[in-house]
Structure 1
Amino acid sequence: MNVLGISRSPRFSPNSVDRDMAIFTAVASRMQRGGNDVSIISEDLFIAVDLSEFDLVFSMARGRDVLTALAEAEQQLNLRVVNSAHGLLQANRAQLVTTLKDTAVPQPKLQILNIESSEEHSLQELSEELILTYPLWLKRGDACAQRPGDVCFVSNQSELHQALISYAANGVHAVIAEEHVPGDLVKFYGVEGSDFFFITYPTETNNFSKFGLEQHNGKPLHTPFDANMLKSAADRAAKSIGCIVYGGDAIISADGKFVVIDFNDWPSFSACRKEAAKAIANRLKNLD
């Protein structure tokens, strides 16, 4: 099978370039050892690639130009792309809120704030429209976090206003406001359509953190919860998007219930890279 692997651009890997490349390389290696003819390219160099030469593409790309080209190949050439480029184009953070709701994935209380103007009075009015309870989290709604400030923790209206000024200055027009939920923070990693599902407690294990924001949830209490239910919820969301290779974050409350606070396409799997690479390669060889 002729396979193309597309690695992620450094601009979409804040503080994670080596980690993202490590899982990409591990999957490519396993695909090669499985007897496939594997070509690899960075999304930054993805120019005039003849996709008709390939039977399968596994891609960590996040740039809209590359995703658009891959989505066209999915439609016109019936090319299998993992993760689905068409799905990712339809799943920015703001749209993901709706997807999680439609697939019955528990989420915190949230509100989407649309920045229509960068003028001071407009941003002040927007901050006054908030109906959620502080403290809360703000996340850019158009894309994954790429720089400090794309995700931030705010405790009052003044901090919210300053954050909105920063978002507006960086050209972000939609911001997701999400109530902070106390409890155990867990990171989960999965491969939809397989048994692979890995959970870790980042504030306990001192795992790598892109921006150091996990500290707001403190040390975990290891409240018992149903990990199978979390996997089932995450798999539903992944299948809906076409995001076979995924990761995310959830909060386990004192009553054992969970809410999903983040969901990402193809994370670095740094806490479980070897097991994840095996699961991903096996899934690529056994697509539906």
Structure 2
Amino acid sequence: MELVGIHRNRKFSPNHIGNDDAIFSLTAQALRKQGARIRICSEDEFLAEEATPERGIFTMAREKSAVQKLQILESAGAAVINSAFGIENCFRINMHKALESNQVPVPVSWIVPTTDEGKDRLDQWPEAHFWIKRGDFHAIHREDVTFVRSRLEGQEMLREYALRDIPEVLVSQHLAGDLVKFYGVRGTDFFFWFYPYEHNHHKYVEYEAINGKSHHHSFDEAELQRVATASAAACQVDIYGGDAIVAKDGTFHIIDLNDWPSFAPCRQDAANAIAGLLFQKFTQTGL
């Protein structure tokens, strides 16, 4: 089994560069123990290649041009995990549409252009406090996910996004409750969840002041796993992680889903589960 692994460009790992590198390296080690021969390359090296000889590709790539190249290879018969189409499905607006259309509980949200039309639409938003999130990609900079306290502040943020050539944003209601982070490997028994603020695991520390400390509201853990798995299926990714807000009454909403996150609190177990899934899927394709 000859594979190529494409690790993530560091600009797509805000405050998690070491964690993303670690899970990728451990997964490659576990695959090699199962007999796979692996070539590792960066996103830039992958993009510079005239041809990719390996038909089995495991990837953390997020550069849009790299994702597009992977989609071409996948359409031509290469086995790509996560699917490059699934990676694109995890871009913010794509993700929200996929989850909402598959009846996954998500916050009430609007897709709003960053033009003057968007500013007019924002005037119709019914709540005083809300989130504005970059629509075309994941959060790379702190401003890509911003909590605003008034429509005027929101309109100023739309102007800032427009200056950065971001055409659309997702405007979402602010939900009170416990922030819970989860990780999973679809098709296996592996699932892990935790309270990120209690483990100092977050991209931007100021979010804790907005969300508040965890109150450990009781909720159905099996239902969280079921909904998280359904969310990954909706976005067509196998290796995934995300965030949910758990309310006082135990109900919860998925507020984010990512392709191949860091798995930092459960790294070794996750790497073994990921490698097992990859080996199984690549074997099934005849590699």
Normalised by the shorter chain, which TM-score bucket?
A: over 0.9
- 2:94 maps to what in 1? 95
Q: CA deviation at 1:215?
A: 2.9
Residue 222 in structure 1 maps to residue 203 in structure 2: no
% of aligned pairs identical? 37
Kindly provide the amino acid, as one letter, of the partner of residue 248 in structure 2: A
Aligned pair in 2 of structure 1 residues 125, 190: CA closer, same or farther (>3 Å)? same
* 1:155-192 Cα deviation digits (max 9, x unpaired): 11121122112111111111111111111110011111
Q: CA-atom RMSD, angstroms?
A: 1.6
Number of aligned positions between the proteins:
281
Residue 125 in structure 1 maps to residue 120 in structure 2: yes
Q: CA deviation at 1:261?
A: 0.6
User: Contact (CA 8 Å) 1:107, 1:260: kept in 2 or not?
Assistant: yes
Aligned pair in 2 of structure 1 residues 286, 155: CA closer, same or farther (>3 Å)? same
Residue 266 in structure 1 maps to residue 265 in structure 2: no
TM-score when scaled to structure 2?
0.93
Q: CA deviation at 1:109?
A: 1.1
Q: CA deviation at 1:91?
A: 4.1
Name the stretch that deviates more: 164-173 or 247-256: 164-173
Which segments of 5 or more consecutive residues in structure 1 lack a partner in the other structure? none
Kindly provide the amino acid, as one letter, of the partner of residue 49 in structure 2: A
Aligned pair in 2 of structure 1 residues 270, 91: CA closer, same or farther (>3 Å)? closer
User: Contact (CA 8 Å) 1:132, 1:179: kept in 2 or not?
Assistant: no
Which secondary structure does the structure 2 equivalent of 1:271 belong to? helix
Partner Cα separation in structure 1 for residue 234 and residue 119 of structure 2 = 37
Which secondary structure does the structure 1 equivalent of 2:3 belong to? strand
- 2:154 maps to what in 1? 160
The aligned runs of 1:1-288 (5 Å cut-off) are: 1-46=1-46, 47-48=48-49, 50-51=51-52, 53-76=53-76, 78-116=77-115, 124-129=119-124, 131-210=125-204, 212-287=206-281
Partner Cα separation in structure 2 for residue 196 and residue 123 of structure 1 = 41
Q: CA deviation at 1:106?
A: 0.3
Partner Cα separation in structure 2 for residue 107 and residue 276 of structure 1 = 26
* 1:104-129 Cα deviation digits (max 9, x unpaired): 21011111111235xxxx56434323
* 1:88-110 Cα deviation digits (max 9, x unpaired): 23442112111101222101111
Kindly provide the amino acid, as one letter, of the partner of residue 127 in structure 1: L
Which secondary structure does the structure 1 equivalent of 2:128 belong to? coil
Aligned pair in 2 of structure 1 residues 217, 196: CA closer, same or farther (>3 Å)? same
User: Contact (CA 8 Å) 1:93, 1:142: kept in 2 or not?
Assistant: yes
